[in-house]
């Protein structure tokens, strides 16, 4: 018996080592615990009823571990058990601190970006002898005066080389001036070149970029901040037709006003067609709404405020990369398609399709594949959103939390302050309100007209239907004022679908008026087995509006198809094609 007891005793050196290790682990735990408390207060997104228990548990653990780790008379076995718990909890608290730090960093990134970047090209003919910007010396360089930041770009270029600048009336004439060799080179923004690539046949193949540079400017958005947990507010959501960083100036192809009333827990989504023919607030001239985005987010906001007669308090911007990056980091989504169709070279089948980011973007942009056009496209976009939300709500997504933040960091931008986002998040976590969400869309009739951005070049436009504009204004006012509103009623048709807006002469065509009915018509089937047969959606080209009714149905309607296996490395090719494509207009839908 004596020998057994002797074997259980621990050597003094070993006991001392355990005591030292326990003390070290305690101070590590203490440091991480205090850091967590500080980060929770910095995050400022958790209500007091959640913060208080966390703090009490943390303080209790610190006291208990201090007693068991630092007191010499505690048995070594208890110290070892205590050490194991401290290691496990320290690891957990480390990851908690990491998540909070990444969250705070994300909020700072998306809210502190209060500037926009405009990319400029100096273009020359493909066979031009000019090799670099220095060769522009004493050459003729064409530009369009007072169009966006063109004058600032011209001054910046003149600081580097001396040349003769030639003022040309419009972008379209500017492109032709280069092709006709009236000038040696032209200066224009990248989004203007993208439009000329669409409008002038083989323009891209006839020119090359001699030199490129950027102009950086601060956003000049004048908005009124409110208490977003008590007062109703409007957010302008802009979806720009670019990939990469979100600070690039580009056409705004998705334009939506999100009206939120935190008291009545109502949200109204008002979609505005990209080709709406409106007066630009920045130039007091008629143009497409999508073109307002080329002159900055402030021009888009001012234009929408004026014709809807509402105040916009905040804005948020996303782009193509936002969708692609988020879906990819989620590991793909299961999106439901009502039809079998092929668009932009991506094949979809009736039923559930497991898609990656590029497929999700193509699915949400398809329009000419359906007889219902924009209406079906909105349904597809909603299907993508629902699939993303379903994936985000799955428990497995916690392991990808920081990856999601990283994916959205450079493809999301807002002028909401960090404190306002924190306040709204805290309100949501504290109250857990059930939001009623509904959406409406402005409407109009197809036409052609002259625009500020393109001067004498006729472009496809949508003449606004005044009844839908008035209807949207009234609905936004009702949500703002907290009036009793049946949000489902927003799906009813306005009394008139004929445009009452006079067309700025000369108007060359007026075709069928877009309606707001929710009926889905089953299209006729016909073969379309090649992506080369697909209709390219060039929103600024009225000659390219030809419906592609590729709607062959799969016999197994509920079959889940994994389209990721069919990618075959064609994403890069299709991404280039998609860059020249435009997002389409939103139509009426209702979600509760």
Could you write out the DSSP letters of every residue in 381-402? Answer: HHHHHHHHHHHHTSGGGGGGHH
Q: What's the gap between Cα 408 and its chain centre?
A: 9
User: Are both 329 and 266 inside the same structural domain?
Assistant: yes
Residue ranges making up the domain that contains 27: 13-104
Domain containing 340 — which CATH number?
3.40.630.190
Measured at the CA of 210, the angle between CA 138 and CA 252, to 5 degrees, comes to 115
- Cα 574 to Cα 317, 323, 330, 361, 532: the distances in Å are 23, 15, 21, 11, 12
From 218, 247, 274, give the residue that closes a domain.
218
User: Are both 343 and 464 inside the same structural domain?
Assistant: yes
Determine, yes or no, domain membership for 225. no
Determine, yes or no, domain membership for 3. no
Determine, yes or no, domain membership for 5. no
Cα–Cα nearest to 192, from 157, 246, 152, 143: 143
From 72, 104, 136, give the residue that closes a domain.
104
Question: Which residues does 394 contact at the CB level (< 8 Å), separation at least 6?
Answer: none
Determine, yes or no, domain membership for 7. no
Q: What is the per-residue pLDDT across 523-569, written as a single tens digit (0 to 9) for each?
A: 333 333 333 333 334 344 333 333 333 333 333 333 333 444 343 33
Cβ proximity of 127 and 218 under 8 Å:
no
DSSP H/E element including 89: helix 76-112
User: Are both 129 and 241 inside the same structural domain?
Assistant: no
Distance in angstroms (rounded) separating the CA atoms of residues 287 and 576: 27
Distance in angstroms (rounded) separating the CA atoms of residues 106 and 112: 10
User: Are both 52 and 158 inside the same structural domain?
Assistant: no
Q: What is the per-residue pLDDT across 426-479, written as a single tens digit (0 to 9) for each?
A: 888 888 888 887 878 888 888 999 999 888 788 889 899 999 999 999 999 999
Q: Terminal CA-to-CA distance of the chain, rounded, Å?
A: 75
Question: Which pLDDT value is given to residue 219?
Answer: 79
Cβ proximity of 165 and 143 under 8 Å:
yes
- Total domain count, the chain: 3
Domain containing 194 — which CATH number?
3.40.190.10
Distance in angstroms (rounded) separating the CA atoms of residues 400 and 331: 10
Determine, yes or no, domain membership for 444. yes
User: Are both 315 and 346 inside the same structural domain?
Assistant: yes
User: Are both 431 and 549 inside the same structural domain?
Assistant: yes
User: Are both 153 and 282 inside the same structural domain?
Assistant: no
Question: Which pLDDT value is given to residue 373?
Answer: 66
In this prediction, the residues of the chain whose per-residue pLDDT falls under 50 are 1-7, 489-592
Distance in angstroms (rounded) separating the CA atoms of residues 268 and 3: 81
Question: Which pLDDT value is given to residue 335?
Answer: 92
SS (H, E, C) 332-383: CEEEEECCCEEECCEEECCEEEEECHHHHHHHHHCCCCCCCCHHHHHHHHHH
User: Are both 141 and 273 inside the same structural domain?
Assistant: no
Distance in angstroms (rounded) separating the CA atoms of residues 349 and 335: 10
Residue whose structure tokens are 């445009």: 499
Measured at the CA of 367, the angle between CA 362 and CA 371, to 5 degrees, comes to 140
User: Are both 275 and 381 inside the same structural domain?
Assistant: yes
Question: Which pLDDT value is given to residue 509?
Answer: 29
User: Are both 182 and 59 inside the same structural domain?
Assistant: no
Cβ proximity of 367 and 537 under 8 Å:
yes
Determine, yes or no, domain membership for 6. no
User: Are both 97 and 124 inside the same structural domain?
Assistant: no
Question: Which pLDDT value is given to residue 1?
Answer: 45
Distance in angstroms (rounded) separating the CA atoms of residues 123 and 185: 5
Average pLDDT, the chain: 78
Determine, yes or no, domain membership for 287. yes
From 104, 135, 153, give the residue that closes a domain.
104
User: Are both 501 and 564 inside the same structural domain?
Assistant: yes
Determine, yes or no, domain membership for 121. yes
Question: Which residues does 265 contact at the CB level (< 8 Å), separation at least 6?
Answer: 433, 434, 435, 436
């Amino acid at each position: 018996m004596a020998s057994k007891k002797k074997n259980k005793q621990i050597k003094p050196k070993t006991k001392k080592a355990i005591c030292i290790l326990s003390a070290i682990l305690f101070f590590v735990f203490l440091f991480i615990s205090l850091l967590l408390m500080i980060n929770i207060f910095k995050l400022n997104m958790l209500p007091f009823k959640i913060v208080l228990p966390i703090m009490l548990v943390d303080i209790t653990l610190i006291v208990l571990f201090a007693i068991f780790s630092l007191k010499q008379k505690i048995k070594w076995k208890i110290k070892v058990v205590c050490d194991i718990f401290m290691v496990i909890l320290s690891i957990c608290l480390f990851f908690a601190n990491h998540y909070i730090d990444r969250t705070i960093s994300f909020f700072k990134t998306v809210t502190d970006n209060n500037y926009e970047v405009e990319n400029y090209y100096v273009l020359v003919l493909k066979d031009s002898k000019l090799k670099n910007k220095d060769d522009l010396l004493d050459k003729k360089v064409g530009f369009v005066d007072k169009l966006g930041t063109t004058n600032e770009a011209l001054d910046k270029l003149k600081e580097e080389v001396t040349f003769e600048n030639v003022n040309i009336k419009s972008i379209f004439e500017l492109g032709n001036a280069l092709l006709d060799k009236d000038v040696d080179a032209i200066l224009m923004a990248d989004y203007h070149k993208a439009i000329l690539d669409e409008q002038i046949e083989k323009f891209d193949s006839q020119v090359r970029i001699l030199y490129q540079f950027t102009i950086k400017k601060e956003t000049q958005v004048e908005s009124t901040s409110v208490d977003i947990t008590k007062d109703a507010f409007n957010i302008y959501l802009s979806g720009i037709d670019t990939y990469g960083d979100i600070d690039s100036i580009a056409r705004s192809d998705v334009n939506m006003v999100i009206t939120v009333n935190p008291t009545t827990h109502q949200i109204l989504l008002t979609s505005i067609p990209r080709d709406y023919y409106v007066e630009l607030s920045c130039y007091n001239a008629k143009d497409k709404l999508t073109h307002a985005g080329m002159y900055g987010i402030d021009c888009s906001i001012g234009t929408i405020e004026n014709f809807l007669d509402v105040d916009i308090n905040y804005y948020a911007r996303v782009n193509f990369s936002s969708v692609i990056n988020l879906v990819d980091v989620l590991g793909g989504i299961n999106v439901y398609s009502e039809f079998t169709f092929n668009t932009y070279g991506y094949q979809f089948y009736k039923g559930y399709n497991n898609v990656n980011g590029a497929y999700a973007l193509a699915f949400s942009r398809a329009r000419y594949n359906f007889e219902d056009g924009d209406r079906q496209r909105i349904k597809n976009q909603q299907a993508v959103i629902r699939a993303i939300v379903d994936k985000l709500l799955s428990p497995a997504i916690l392991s990808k939390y920081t990856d999601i933040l990283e994916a959205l960091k450079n493809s999301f931008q807002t002028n909401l302050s960090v404190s306002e986002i924190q306040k709204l998040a805290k309100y949501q976590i504290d109250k857990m309100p059930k939001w009623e969400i509904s959406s409406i869309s402005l409407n109009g009739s197809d036409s052609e007209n002259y625009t500020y951005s393109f001067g004498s070049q006729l472009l496809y436009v949508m003449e606004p239907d005044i009844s839908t504009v008035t209807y949207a204004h009234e609905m936004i006012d009702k949500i703002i004022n907290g009036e009793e509103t049946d949000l489902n009623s927003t799906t009813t048709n306005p009394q008139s679908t004929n445009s009452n807006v006079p067309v700025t002469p000369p108007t060359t065509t007026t075709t069928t008026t877009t309606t707001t009915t929710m009926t889905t018509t089953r299209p006729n089937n016909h073969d379309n087995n090649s992506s080369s047969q697909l209709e390219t959606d060039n929103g600024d080209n009225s000659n390219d509006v030809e419906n592609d009714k590729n709607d062959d149905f799969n016999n197994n309607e509920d079959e889940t198809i994994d389209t990721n296996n069919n990618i075959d490395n064609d994403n890069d090719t299709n991404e280039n094609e998609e860059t020249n494509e435009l997002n389409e207009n939103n139509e009426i839908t209702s979600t509760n």
